[in-house]
Amino acid sequence: MESSFTVARIRGIPIGVHYTWAIAVVMITWSLAAGYFPQEYPGWLPRDYWFVGAAAALLLFISVLFHELCHSFVAQARGLAVKSITLFIFGGVSNIAQESEDPRDEFLIAVVGPLSSLALAGLFWLGVLAIPNDTSPLGALLFYLTTVNLMLAIFNILPGFPLDGGRVLRAILWGSTGSMVRGTTVATVVGQVVAFLFIGYGIWQIFIERDFLSGVWIGFIGWFLNSAAEATRRQVQVQEGFRGITVESVMTPDPPVVSPALPVRALVDEYVLRRGLRALPVAQDGRIVGLVSLSDVKHLPEPEWSGNSVGAIMTRPPLRTIGPEAPVARALERLVEDDVNQLLVVDKDGTLLGMLTRRDVMRFLQMRGELRMRR
C-alpha cells in the first residue's frame, strides 16, 4: 500500500503503517476519552480518560496486527509468500504475494482471522475476571478490548467478500463447484450486498439517529467493502479471460535492441518519439546487459541527453524476466507486484525472445473483446 512506512519485521514480514492509521488512532482516542469512557465510567480523573483512550486505541491496532499475523503465518505454512502487512484507517491488510490455488488453503488462511480475534477476546475477558475492581481504568481497558475483539471476530465472519467470512464462503463454493471464478462471483456479490447494508445503516445513523460521526464511519466502511469486492471480481474475470493463454501468444517478439553506447538523444529521437517505444533491451556482443526505459530517460535533464549514453542510465541486471510458456495471468501478477511496465521474455538459456508490456496485455484483451472471443 502506497504512502506507508515500515516500522518492524516479524518472521521476515515487513510491518507497515499507512498515514491514515494516525488519523484513526486520533479519532478513536478522542471518541473513547471524550465519550465512551466518561459515560460508562464516571468519576475518573480527566487525564485517566485520555490515557486509557490512547492505550485502548493502540492496543486495538495491536489486536488487528495479531489478526493479520495469524493470516500471514498460515499463508506461509501453506507455501504462500507474504510481502507485507499494513495498518491503515480501516484496520489492517496482509499482502499475500498470490492467490491460493487450493480452496482448502483459502479456507484455512481466512478462518484463522476471526478465530484469532475470538481468542484475544477470551484472553482479555480472563483479565477482566482477574481484576477485583472492574470499574478501574485497567478493568475498563480490558473490558473494552474484550468487547472490541469480539466485535472484530463477528464483523470479519460476515459472509461478504473481502471480509474473512466472504473468503470462507468463496472457499466453500470453490471446493463444492470446482470453480474459483464462480465462487468469487457469488462471494463478491454477497460482499456488495453487505457493503450496501453498511452504507444504508450509515445514512440511517446520520439522518435518523443524528449521529454524524458514526454514520460517516460506517458509510466509509461500506464504501471500502464495495470497492474491494468490485475490484476483486474484475481481477478474477481478467484472469479467467487469460486462462490457457501463454506469454508467447501475447508478447512482442524480437523487440528492437540498442547498444549501451547509443547517445540518449538518439534513443529519444529514433525509438521513443518516432516509434513510440517506452522500453528497450540493451545488448552488447549479443548479450543482454540492461534495459532502458522512458523512466530512466526522464531522470536525466534534457541538456545532458547528448553527452550521455544509454549505458549510463539503463537498469542493469538482475532484470525482471519471464518464460514464454508462463501463463499471461501470472505475468500480469508480476507486472503489478513489481510495479513495472514490462518483462523480458527469455528461454531457458537466457536468450531474448520478446518483451511483454502492460500495453500488450491490454491490447490483447481489447482485440479479443472486439472479436467477442471467449477463449
Q: Which residues are identified as catalytic?
A: 68
Q: Residues for the chain: how many in total?
A: 375
Residue 36's SS3 state is helix
In angstroms, what CA-CA distances link 159 with 27, 154, 221?
Answer: 28, 10, 15
Contact present, 142 and 174 (Cβ < 8 Å): no
Residue 195: which of 203, 28, 71, 68 has the closest Cα? 203
Which position has the grid cell 477476546? 121
In angstroms, what CA-CA distances link 31 with 56, 146, 188, 207, 365?
Answer: 11, 18, 32, 20, 49
Angle between helices 358-370 and 328-337 (to 10 degrees): 140
Contact present, 286 and 259 (Cβ < 8 Å): no
Q: For residues 200 and 196, give the distance between their C-alpha atoms in angstroms, rounded to a whole number.
A: 6
Residue 152 backbone class (left: φ over 0; alpha: ψ -120 to 50; beta: rest): alpha
**Residue 277: which residues within 8 A CB-CB, separation 6 or more?**
256, 271
**Residue 192: which residues within 8 A CB-CB, separation 6 or more?**
160, 225, 226, 229, 230
Q: Which helix (H) or strand (E) holds 358?
A: helix 358-370
At position 26, the amino acid (one-letter code) is V
Residue 219's SS3 state is helix
Residue 292 backbone class (left: φ over 0; alpha: ψ -120 to 50; beta: rest): beta
Angle made by CA atoms 136, 140, 146, in degrees to the nearest 5: 145
